Amino acid sequence: MATSLLTQNNLISKTIRQSTGLTTSFVASEVMNIQGANQVQLFVSFVKGDSAGCRLKIEYSENKSNWYQESAIDEFPSLYDMKHTLITRIIEETGNYVISIPVSASYLRVSSQAITSGVDTSLGIMATAASI
């Protein structure tokens, strides 16, 4: 069993993506160990430049080998069925954003891409994990 990095009300912070340009292919951030945390906040700094915006996929793992992307219920095709769709978060304007997420996984990473190619587009992400 993995050892928890956090104790009650402690927090850890890590820059998981230095502010750099984006490509139109998804690129994964550094992996962050969030063992023992039940809340993560992503501090996202995005400069749109000539791109139409960016996409973020938040992914979780228990072993840093198998990654699982967030999903949500998209529709109810019948009384007993639910259709899940993978979540891709889209940012279309330059700004500083906070994304707050309840968690129960051991590791986190964020994959990002530019929606369209363009110059002067950049993205940086700092993550804070806490047990609150």
Can you list the domains of the chain with their CATH numbers?
A: 11-130 (2.60.120.510)
pLDDT in tens, 21-59: 999 999 999 999 999 999 999 999 999 999 999 999 999
| Strands 39-47 and 122-130, sheet pairing | antiparallel
> 42, exposed or middle or buried, with CB in 10 Å at 0-12, 13-18, 19+?
buried
118 vs 105 pLDDT, higher one: 105
3-class state of residue 114 by DSSP: strand
CA atoms within 13 A on the CB side of 18: 1
Q: How confident is the model at residue 5 (pLDDT cuts 50, 70, 90)?
A: low
Query: Counting every residue, how long is the chain?
Result: 132
pLDDT in the model for residue 9? 55
Per-residue model confidence (pLDDT) at position 31 = 98
% pLDDT > 90, the chain = 77
* pLDDT tens digits for range 55-101: 999 999 999 999 999 998 877 777 788 888 899 999 999 999 999 99
Contact (Cβ atoms closer than 8 angstroms) between residue 67 and residue 111: no
Residue-level pLDDT at 8: 47
Give, as one character, the DSSP assignment of residue 35. Answer: T
Q: What is the pLDDT of residue 97?
A: 98
Nearest to 43 by CA among 14, 84, 76: 14
Amino acid at site 62: E
- Give the CA distances from residue 67 to residues 52, 70, 87, 97, in Å, rounded to whole numbers and listed in that order: 27, 10, 14, 24
